[in-house]
């Protein structure tokens, strides 16, 4: 029975503990206990969160055989840990099948030396600091989470839940992971390669009507997605829709749709082996030539180059 130990450090962010829901739901959906859980710290005893709440923990060395260690820190990167603490964490990591640093918890893995020579991610606002602190690590600040063998890292706090669902998928399969995502009311289970800077988040419309049109576009990328179609979804005239869309997002509907298509196509290029012409059609570019032109405008590189770089990584 895999044991998941959530390891806290002082001033950890309370929201990080929410990842336990993925494992709890896995047990519930299986109809029998599969995972066991513990909340631990190196010293044991109560640990105070960044919001002032304290959480009781067991001493890490008393947890026993942990299958998975989830290292949790705060809203800012943790300070350099003393060598005794790091050695305790290293020893437990060596005994575990896998270890993950959630958000700024990735810095703990860096201090342990477990990220040297590996790819890793963290919250985008601390990526530069992570590069400076750990020059042997290939920091990718545009990823939701990264799996490098037995070591996992995730981006900002909610991305830890995506990582947890991905861990369950490794153990129990895609159907279980999808069922958990639905129960958690996650819009969809985000793949690790997805950008932290989602186009839907960056557009950030203030009204439900424009948000509804954008979600429609995201889920119907193979369709033409004309202004008339999107305006109909928003229950506005095309002229009203175009005016409201630009006012709320700062972009025209056509430009926003192209950005969403580019984001989806790039994810497929980097994460799948689908032919490029198929990716172009599925994301509404009509043909490979038009997708290539859009990629050159946005990224300065053709799709083939991005796929080659992703495979090399």
pLDDT at 178: 87
Domain count, the chain: 2
Same domain (yes/no): 155, 19: yes
| pTM, two decimal places | 0.66
Please tell me which residue, 158 or 120, carries the higher pLDDT value.
120
Say if strands 3-8 and 68-72 run parallel, antiparallel, or are unpaired: parallel
Average pLDDT over residues 111-127: 94
Confidence of residue 188 (pLDDT cuts 50, 70, 90): very low
Give me the CATH number covering residue 207. 1.10.10.60
CB 4 within 8 A of CB 26: no
Q: How many CB atoms lie within 10 A of CB 203?
A: 18
- Taking only the tens place, the pLDDT of each residue in 208-220 is 899 899 989 988 9
- Is the residue at 189 inside a domain? no
Same domain (yes/no): 49, 157: yes
Average pLDDT over residues 74-83: 94
- Is the residue at 140 inside a domain? yes
User: Which tokens sit at 50?
Assistant: 């960044």
What is the domain extent for residue 163? 3-183
pLDDT at 202: 62
- Is the residue at 237 inside a domain? yes
Burial class (CB in 10 A: 0-12, 13-18, 19+), 300: exposed
Residue 135, pLDDT > 50, answer yes
Q: What percent of the chain has pLDDT over 90?
A: 75
Please tell me which residue, 211 or 104, carries the higher pLDDT value.
104
Residue 199, pLDDT > 90, answer no
Same domain (yes/no): 179, 238: no
Same domain (yes/no): 227, 163: no
- Is the residue at 190 inside a domain? no
Average pLDDT over residues 130-154: 92
Q: Which of 151, 183, 215 is the last residue of a domain?
A: 183
Give me the CATH number covering residue 12. 3.40.50.880
Beta-carbon contacts of 240 under 8 Å, excluding residues fewer than 6 positions away, are 231
pLDDT at 267: 86
Same domain (yes/no): 125, 22: yes
pLDDT at 200: 57
pLDDT at 190: 53
Same domain (yes/no): 158, 269: no
Question: Hey, which residues are catalytic here?
Answer: 103
Say if strands 138-139 and 54-59 run parallel, antiparallel, or are unpaired: unpaired
What is the DSSP secondary-structure string of 280-296?
A: HHHTT-SSHHHHHHHHH
Q: What is the DSSP letter of 49?
A: B
Mean pLDDT, the chain, integer: 91
Same domain (yes/no): 120, 147: yes
- Taking only the tens place, the pLDDT of each residue in 245-265 is 999 988 999 999 999 999 899
Q: Which of 154, 183, 212 is the last residue of a domain?
A: 183
Calpha distance 273→218 (Å, rounded):
21
- Per-residue exposure over 213-231, b if at least 16 CB sit within 10 Å of its own CB, e if not: bbebbbeebeeebebebbb
Same domain (yes/no): 57, 148: yes
Q: Which of 183, 207, 242 is the last residue of a domain?
A: 183
Confidence of residue 50 (pLDDT cuts 50, 70, 90): very high
The least confident of 7-16, 65-74, 264-273 is: 264-273
């Amino acid at each position: 029975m895999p044991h998941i130990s959530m390891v806290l450090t002082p001033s950890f962010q309370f929201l990080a503990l929410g990842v336990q829901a993925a494992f709890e739901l896995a047990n519930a959906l299986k109809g029998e206990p599969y995972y066991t859980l513990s909340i631990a710290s190196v010293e044991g005893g109560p640990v105070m969160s960044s919001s002032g709440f304290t959480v009781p923990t067991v001493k890490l060395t008393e947890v026993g055989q942990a299958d998975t260690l989830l290292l949790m820190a705060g809203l800012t990167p943790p300070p350099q840990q003393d060598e005794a603490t790091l050695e305790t964490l290293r020893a437990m990591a060596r005994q575990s099948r896998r270890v993950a640093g959630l958000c700024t918890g990735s810095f703990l893995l860096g201090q342990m030396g477990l990220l040297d020579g590996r790819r890793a991610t963290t919250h985008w606002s601390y990526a530069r600091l992570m590069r400076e602190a750990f020059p042997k690590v290939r920091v990718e600040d545009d990823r939701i989470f990264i799996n490098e063998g037995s070591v996992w890292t995730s981006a900002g706090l909610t991305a830890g839940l995506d990582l947890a669902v991905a861990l369950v998928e490794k153990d129990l399969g895609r159907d279980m992971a999808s069922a958990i995502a639905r129960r958690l009311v996650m819009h969809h289970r985000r793949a690790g390669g997805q950008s932290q800077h989602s186009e839907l988040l960056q557009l950030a419309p203030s009204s439900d009507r424009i948000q509804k049109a954008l979600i429609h576009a995201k889920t119907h990328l193979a369709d033409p997605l004309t202004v008339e179609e999107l305006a109909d979804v928003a229950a506005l005239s095309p002229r009203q829709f175009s005016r409201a869309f630009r006012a709320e997002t700062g972009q025209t509907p056509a430009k926003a749709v192209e950005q969403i298509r580019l984001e989806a196509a790039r994810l497929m290029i980097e994460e799948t082996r689908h032919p490029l012409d198929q990716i172009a059609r599925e994301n509404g570019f009509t043909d490979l030539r038009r997708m290539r032109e859009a990629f050159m405008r946005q990224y300065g590189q053709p799709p083939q180059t991005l796929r080659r770089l992703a495979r090399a990584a």
